[in-house]
């Protein structure tokens, strides 16, 4: 939508009164409208005196005619209203409507200026934009020098990208306790620059432990009037040293594409990530590695207070809910009970210890513990040993509540139970207890050994001459052999993750390709090629027992050569991955016939690689 809006703005520059309405795809009869918002964006944050700055005020979520928004006097500029632009889309039943008002701002003098906050009343409510800082320089060459511009045939410098590729790192607070879980967000912002092969954030982890990063989220954001495409990474960190510890600088690596042919600028200004022409002229572009670094963040780590510290506190820090239960409530002495404990909340679950059950009159076994994200469950078998027991004692879970900055204890129980004595003819069932039954007494000469041996011999002789006996015996042996091999196979799947990943690589790849097939009919090329790239990368990651996001095109090419793959096969894989990256990050449209051909090629490549691996 933002890309379409920018294209619309250029058309309106020559025809201000043109109204463009774009209806994308309707798959639901229920239409939901956007929430109302007002945003201000500019074409650049730095211009020269002989250039024109374009200001766009965009209203989202209003399906009605609006009068042009009056803008205040902007110091250092003269303003001219160009006209409106309207865009409407219905995607998957969601209704999206935007109306933009476009202005040309002509600089009058050199200096630093600010477009003030602009307020407008829309549908009876008042909305205000954010101020935008603008720098006006004497001439275009000075602006280029100030921004670190490069020659048209030279790769972009780090200086020229400083305002186009940004990294933001944030934590909720900097004063934390030892081992307290702290959410960490790393956001990469890119403005009109073609970027690919973005890696996960890297930083020195001395002083704290870190969870794996979640799957990154992509969106867009306006910063100082410029629209940035964003990639957001999230994880949790746990400081394990007292005092001041530093997070970062955090670095994100990737490749920037630049045009190596004749062009006035290494970047295009008309496209998503600044690369609308890349797909059609991919051989004119080269990749330059780039590393973006954040400013460090200092955390002040304190020890937990000793005041009010419970004796059974085991180190849990965060905010939790603790539940416990016992079942069944009526048993006989020696019969098992199941004690279940359930902790859920926010905090460090990796080393969290659940309450330990220990009580006189009970036989206990080691608990079975399952942990999934912010949820930990323990089930433990406990056995009452005598009928005098009337209850399972209470359980206490103590933790430090980071919201209250104090210790808190949750108590569950005691749990009333009814235990009865076993019947006289029943054995005691508790595993590990001595047998309280008596050995049966067999009277002498109760039966004849000779008669017994004769009957057994007669039965075996009859079986050995029976066709059905050997048939059944053969089937049993075959069934046991199959079961043994199946169990060995299952055990290897459970204990050998690399084997399991290699085994399911093809199936998972074709499942992803099946999902990609659905986007061909709707011509959603970006989503299609994102799944195409995912299928190839995850297939190779499963075969190599590695991480798919960490596999760049160069890494894949190198490892395929090491594995002895034919050069033509490596070239096809590399070409398809690069093409997928270009479409995903360049936003170029591809027709359905090309998408269908690439899907068929991806399927053939995976089957060819399967013969090698």
Distance between CA atoms of residues 348 and 603, nearest Å? 42
**pLDDT at res. 163:** 73
| pLDDT-derived band at 269, boundaries 50, 70, 90 | very low
**Contact predicate 556/574, CB 8 Å:** yes
Q: What fold does the segment set 165-302 form as a domain?
A: Immunoglobulin-like (2.60.40)
DSSP 8-state class, residue 249: -
What's the angle, vertex CA 431, arms to CA 426 and CA 435, rounded to 5? 50
**pLDDT at res. 324:** 92
Q: Which residues contact 143 (CB under 8 A, 6 or more apart)?
A: 46, 47, 48, 51, 137, 149
Provide the CATH number for the domain formed by 497-612 in this structure. 1.20.120
DSSP 16-62: TT-------B---S--BPPPPEEEEEES-SEEETTS-EEEEEEEES-
Distance between CA atoms of residues 261 and 24, nearest Å? 35
| CA 169 from centre of chain | 17
Q: Which residue has the higher pLDDT, 279 or 98?
A: 98
**pLDDT at res. 154:** 54
Beta pairing class for 375-384 and 53-60: unpaired
- Residue intervals of the chain classified under CATH 2.60.40 are 2-146, 165-302, 322-420
**pLDDT at res. 425:** 61
Q: How many Cβ atoms are within 10 Å of 543's Cβ, its own excluded?
A: 20
The beta-carbon contacts of 279-286 under 8 Å, at least 24 apart in sequence, are 279/579, 279/582, 279/583, 279/586, 279/588, 279/590, 280/588, 282/578, 282/579, 282/582, 284/259, 284/260, 285/194, 285/257, 285/258, 285/259, 285/260, 286/155, 286/257, 286/258, 286/260
| pLDDT-derived band at 482, boundaries 50, 70, 90 | very high
Q: What fold does the segment set 322-420 form as a domain?
A: Immunoglobulin-like (2.60.40)
- How far apart are the two ends of the chain, measured CA to CA in Å? 42
**Bridge partners of 119?**
128
Q: What is the mean pLDDT of residues 416-425?
A: 81
**pLDDT higher than 80, residue 438:** no
- Residue intervals of the chain classified under CATH 1.20.120 are 497-612
What is the per-residue pLDDT across 50-90, written as a single tens digit (0 to 9) for each?
A: 788 888 888 887 766 777 888 888 888 888 888 787 776 65
Q: What is the mean pLDDT of residues 176-199?
A: 84
Tell me what the pLDDT averaged over the chain comes to: 77
Tokens for 418? 């009814």
| pLDDT-derived band at 144, boundaries 50, 70, 90 | low
Which DSSP helix (H) or strand (E) runs through 463? helix 449-464
Q: Which of these ranges, 42-56, 57-71, 152-166, 542-556, has the smallest mean pLDDT?
A: 152-166
Distance between CA atoms of residues 228 and 97, nearest Å? 21
**pLDDT at res. 275:** 43
**pLDDT at res. 210:** 86
**pLDDT > 70 fraction of the chain, expressed in percent and rounded:** 79
pTM score: 0.50
Distance between CA atoms of residues 206 and 203, nearest Å? 9
Scored b (16 or more CB within 10 A) or e, 340-351 reads ebbbebebbbee
What is the per-residue pLDDT across 587-597, written as a single tens digit (0 to 9) for each?
A: 666 788 888 88
Q: Which residues contact 29 (CB under 8 A, 6 or more apart)?
A: 93
Q: Which residue from 227, 285, 299, 222 is spatially nearest to 257, judged by alpha carbons?
A: 285
Burial of 355 (0-12, 13-18, 19+ CB in 10 A): buried
Q: What fold does the segment set 2-146 form as a domain?
A: Immunoglobulin-like (2.60.40)
Q: What is the mean pLDDT of residues 3-26?
A: 39
**Contact predicate 180/402, CB 8 Å:** yes
Q: What is the mean pLDDT of residues 410-420?
A: 89
């Amino acid at each position: 939508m933002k890309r379409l809006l920018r294209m619309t703005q250029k058309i309106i520059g020559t025809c201000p009164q043109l109204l463009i309405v774009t209806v994308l795809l309707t798959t639901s009869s229920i239409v939901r409208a956007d929430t109302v918002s007002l945003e201000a964006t500019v074409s650049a944050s730095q211009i020269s005196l002989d250039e024109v700055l374009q200001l766009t005020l965009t209203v989202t979520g209003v399906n009605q005619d609006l009068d042009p928004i009056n803008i205040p006097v902007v110091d250092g500029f003269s303003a001219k209203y160009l006209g409106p632009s309207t865009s409407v889309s219905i995607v998957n039943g969601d209704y999206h409507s935007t109306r933009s008002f476009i202005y040309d701002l002509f600089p009058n003098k050199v200096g630093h200026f600010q477009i003030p906050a602009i307020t407008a009343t829309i549908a009876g409510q008042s909305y205000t934009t954010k101020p935008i800082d603008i720098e006006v320089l004497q001439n275009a060459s000075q602006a280029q020098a100030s921004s670190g511009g490069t020659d048209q045939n030279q790769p972009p410098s780090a200086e020229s990208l400083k305002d186009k590729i940004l990294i933001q790192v944030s934590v909720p607070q900097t004063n934390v306790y030892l081992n307290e879980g702290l959410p960490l967000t790393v956001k990469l912002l890119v403005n009109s620059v073609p970027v690919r092969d973005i890696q996960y954030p890297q930083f020195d982890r001395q002083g704290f432990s870190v969870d794996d990063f979640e799957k990154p989220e992509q969106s867009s954001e306006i910063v100082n009037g410029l629209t940035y495409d964003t990639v957001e990474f999230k994880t949790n960190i746990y400081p394990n040293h007292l005092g001041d510890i530093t997070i970062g600088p955090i670095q994100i690596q990737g490749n920037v594409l630049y045009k190596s042919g004749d062009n006035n600028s290494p970047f295009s200004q008309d496209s998503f990530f600044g690369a609308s022409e890349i797909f059609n002229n991919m051989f004119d572009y080269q990749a330059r590695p780039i590393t973006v670094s954040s400013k460090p963040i200092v955390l002040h780590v304190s020890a937990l207070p000793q005041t009010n510290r419970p004796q059974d506190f085991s180190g849990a820090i965060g905010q939790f809910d603790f539940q416990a239960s016992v079942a069944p409530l009526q048993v006989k002495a020696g019969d098992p009970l199941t004690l279940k404990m359930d902790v859920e909340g926010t905090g460090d679950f990796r080393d969290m210890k659940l309450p330990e059950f220990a009580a006189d009159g009970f036989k206990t076994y080691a608990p079975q513990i399952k942990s999934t994200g912010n949820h930990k469950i323990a089930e433990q078998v406990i056995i009452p040993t005598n009928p005098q027991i009337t209850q399972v004692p209470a359980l206490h879970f103590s933790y430090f509540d980071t919201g209250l900055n104090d210790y808190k204890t949750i108590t569950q129980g005691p749990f009333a139970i009814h235990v009865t004595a076993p019947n006289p003819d029943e054995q005691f069932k508790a595993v590990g207890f001595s047998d309280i039954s008596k050995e049966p007494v067999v009277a002498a000469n109760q039966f004849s050994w000779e008669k017994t041996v004769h009957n057994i011999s007669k039965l075996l002789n009859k079986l050995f001459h029976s066709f059905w006996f050997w048939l059944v015996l053969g089937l049993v042996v075959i069934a046991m052999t199959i079961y043994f091999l199946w169990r060995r196979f299952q055990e290897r799947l459970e204990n050998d993750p690399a084997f399991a990943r290699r085994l399911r690589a093809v199936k998972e790849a074709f499942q992803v390709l099946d999902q990609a097939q659905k986007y061909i009919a709707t011509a959603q090329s970006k989503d299609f090629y994102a799944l195409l790239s995912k299928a190839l990368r995850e297939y190779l990651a499963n075969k190599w027992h590695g991480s798919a996001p960490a596999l760049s095109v160069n890494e894949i090419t190198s490892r395929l050569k090491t594995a002895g793959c034919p050069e033509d096969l490596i070239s096809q894989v590399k070409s398809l991955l690069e093409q997928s990256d270009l479409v995903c990050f360049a936003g170029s449209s591809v027709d359905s016939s090309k998408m269908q051909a690439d899907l068929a090629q991806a399927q053939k490549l995976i089957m060819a690689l399967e013969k090698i691996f």
